[in-house]
Amino acid sequence: MTKPLTGLMPACPTSLTAEGGADVASMKAVVRHMLDNGASGLVPLGGTGEYTSLSPETRIATIEACVEAASGAPVYAGVLAPGLGDALPAARAFAEAGADGLMLMIPYYVKLTQSGVIDYFHAVRDAVDLPIMFYDNPARSHFVVDTDTIAALAEDGTINSIKASNTDMAAFDRLVRSVGPDFSVLSGQDTLFAQQVALGAVGGVLTSAVLVPGIWAQVQELAADGKLAEAIALQRSLEPLMAALFCEENPVPLRHALALIGLETGSSPVPLHPLSDSARKQVEKAMSDLRASGVNLPRAG
């Protein structure tokens, strides 16, 4: 049996060299920063990790670096592929690189059906002996996966967890009530984390948790203990940071925020642009204001 996932598993950016390859030393430093400051695991190569922009070689080197630096903490490698032709070799390569699991998104080009989603996940499950986290993000996949579909995949053991980035809170509540106690429901929405923990999430795959995993762990503890008003108040203190991190396309603002605490992760590949001056100032102000309010923004190293 795979140990259930809990706590903060940040969706982290991929550290890149000037040539676009994997910056192994930087990636290891990012991983240690997250784990040393309150994260319980990590999810590289998701949307924040720019899976679709990277070469297979860069992806594999990134997972190898993450696994080495994680020292046993769970590493779930993102597979955001348009179909099995990319998904299966990537999944096999990540398994060989030492990943503890996969975060698998549905194909985002073909016109899907609910049964097609099930067939796709079964195909990956049958090809690779790794636990699978379902990445549900209809804003990116442009397809709404039914709660019954997810519950069926959980019931037959195909998936052991979900990153729930669907902002439909009623659907989230149905999902929590549709899966068993050993299935890990993880919030994928920074702005709704406290509320989703109150409904039954046992952790989160959050972008801003790359910077401040410890604060998000406090939010989770408060919400899980029934102190929802306090949890939301703490969460709201992070709203300027969350707004800054998504003021332009993710993860470009996050890369600048990490640089401000001593973690250089390189530049995002084309088609993403460097951070604009106004966005740069917004990120810097959010970080400065957090420090001024007494929030600890730990520096790398």
Annotated binding site: 48, 205
Of 51, 76, 120, 135, which one is the catalytic site residue? 135
Determine whether 163 is an active site residue: yes
Instruction: Provide DSSP, 235-295.
Output: HHHTHHHHHHHTSSSTTHHHHHHHHHTT-----PPTTSPPPPHHHHHHHHHHHHHHHHTT-
Report the distance separating Cα 281 and Cα 103, nearest Å.
33
Q: Take residue 72 and report the two structure tokens written for it.
A: 């046993």
Are 238 and 209 a contacting pair, CB within 8 Å? Answer: no
SS3 content of the chain, % helix, strand, coil (to 5): 50, 10, 40
- Report the distance separating Cα 113 and Cα 100, nearest Å: 29
Contact 259, 265 (CB under 8 A): yes
Q: 200-212 b/e with 16+ CB inside 10 Å = b?
A: bbbbbbbbbbbbb
Known binding residues for pyruvate are 48, 205
β-bridge mates for residue 135, sequence order: 105, 163
Burial of 261 from C-beta contacts in 10 A (0-12 / 13-18 / 19+)? middle
Backbone φ and ψ of 161, nearest 5°: -165, 170
The dihedral region occupied by 277, where left means phi > 0, alpha psi between -120 and 50, and beta the remainder, is alpha
Q: Is 120 a catalytic residue?
A: no
Tell me which of 109, 111, 163, 281 is the catalytic residue.
163
Q: What Rg, from alpha-carbon coordinates, does the chain have? A: 18
> Would you name the residues annotated as active-site residues?
135, 163
